[in-house]
Structure 1
Amino acid sequence: MAGLKNQTKQNIINLTIKLIDDNGYTNISLRKLVLKLGLTTGSFYKHFSTKNELWLEVTRDLSQQIANTASKNIDLGMTPEQNIVALAVSFLEQYQTHPNIMDFLLFNPMSQADLNQSSESFKYLQIIDQLITEVINKNHMNKDKQTLFIQLWSFIQGYGILIKNNSVSLDQSIIQITLNNFLKE
């Protein structure tokens, strides 16, 4: 019985991700969601106490998926700077292919609340943080880690929004140039 309950919960999460990807998260209603799954509203509430709890679970699931994809681009033979660029490219490619997912992941109220409590749910941010630490240590920099993290993360998010809105296209050299500028002391 527990396996079926877990499968139903995962089915709700998976369908929610698909609906977000197809239509954006602001267009999802619980009624439509449970109808598509052939569930009742009561069944939904056996798995999630609120829609916000579902958003939080979906946010964590998507963050893990994106971190897994991005991790495949990290190469121990590359410098931390090269890995940051590879990670940024991987993340920005998600903006090209799944803009609604990225909007949800970065801007839904539950992801913001969860991020404010702890970045542990956001594996992607942990990877960036680790690479920034490696860059600072490798180059014996006096640069503040938090400042560099904010600069880099703000750039990646902003560039992603520009890509999503078809204002620019993804150009790896822009990422490299920007990172080099951030690393100057």
Structure 2
Amino acid sequence: MVGISHDTDQRILEQAMNMIRENGEDQLSLRKLARAIGLTTGAFYKHFATKDALLRAVTQLLSQREEAEMAQVLGQITDPEEKLLVMAAEILERFEADPHLMHFLFFNPAARDVLKVEPGQFGFYDQVIQLIKDVLRKRGITIDPQILFIQLWSFIQGYGLLIDSGITSYDPNLVRKTLKDLLEVSND
């Protein structure tokens, strides 16, 4: 029975991600989600007690996938600053290509709690923090990695929202200059 339950959980998560990708988190209806995978609403709640529990599980799964995809993209790069630039570029390009899912990953309630959770719950966040630590170590900067994380993430999220809203499009030169400026200011 455990295998069937896990399989159903996975189907629910995959369908929820597809529905978020297509229409955004705000349009996610649990009734429609349950119906799409052949469950009653009551049966759905045996797998996820609340919509918040479902959204947290989707966020964690997306975080794991982002972590794995970034590890693959960054695998051949040795310089931590270049890795950080490539990571920022990947994230921002995804805001153009997959705006609803990226908006969800960065701005849903579970994602907003990322700074309050223990390491290991959001693999992508842990990966970014480690990369920031590597950059700080390389440059001999002795600030708390959370400070640079917040600065960098504020830029990426804000720029991502501008891209998501169609106000601007991704500019790699802007990202490179902004990261360079953040690192220079942190070094003072």
Instruction: State the shift of 1:24 in Å.
Output: 0.6
TM-score, normalised with respect to structure 2: 0.90
Deviates further, 69-78 or 21-30: 69-78
- Cα deviations by residue, 1:112-138 (Å, 9 ceiling, x for unpaired): 245423353222221221111111111
The change in CA–CA distance for 1:179 and 1:49 in structure 2 (over 3 A counts) is: same
Runs of 4+ deviating beyond 4 Å = none
Distance 1:107 1:149 in 2: 16
Deviates further, 31-40 or 112-121: 112-121
Distance 1:40 1:123 in 2: 32
1:54 maps to 54
Gaps of 5+ in 1: none
Alignment coverage as a number of residue pairs:
185
Distance 2:72 2:104 in 1: 23
Deviates further, 86-95 or 110-119: 110-119
1:110 maps to 110
The change in CA–CA distance for 1:115 and 1:49 in structure 2 (over 3 A counts) is: farther
Distance 2:108 2:50 in 1: 15
Cα contact 1:56–1:110 (8 A) shared by 2: yes
TM-score, normalised with respect to structure 1: 0.92
| RMSD over equivalenced CA pairs, Å | 1.7
Q: Aligned letter for 2:168?
A: V
Cα contact 2:24–2:101 (8 A) shared by 1: yes
SS at match of 2:169: coil
Distance 1:19 1:4 in 2: 22
Distance 1:150 1:91 in 2: 16
SS at match of 2:46: helix
Identity of aligned residues (%): 39
Distance 1:36 1:85 in 2: 39
The yes-or-no answer on 1:79 pairing with 2:89 is: no
Instruction: State the shift of 1:42 in Å.
Output: 1.9
- Cα deviations by residue, 1:133-179 (Å, 9 ceiling, x for unpaired): 11111121244432222111111111111111122221222111111
1:44 maps to 44
Instruction: State the shift of 1:77 in Å.
Output: 4.3
Instruction: State the shift of 1:63 in Å.
Output: 1.0
SS at match of 2:120: helix
Distance 2:179 2:113 in 1: 28
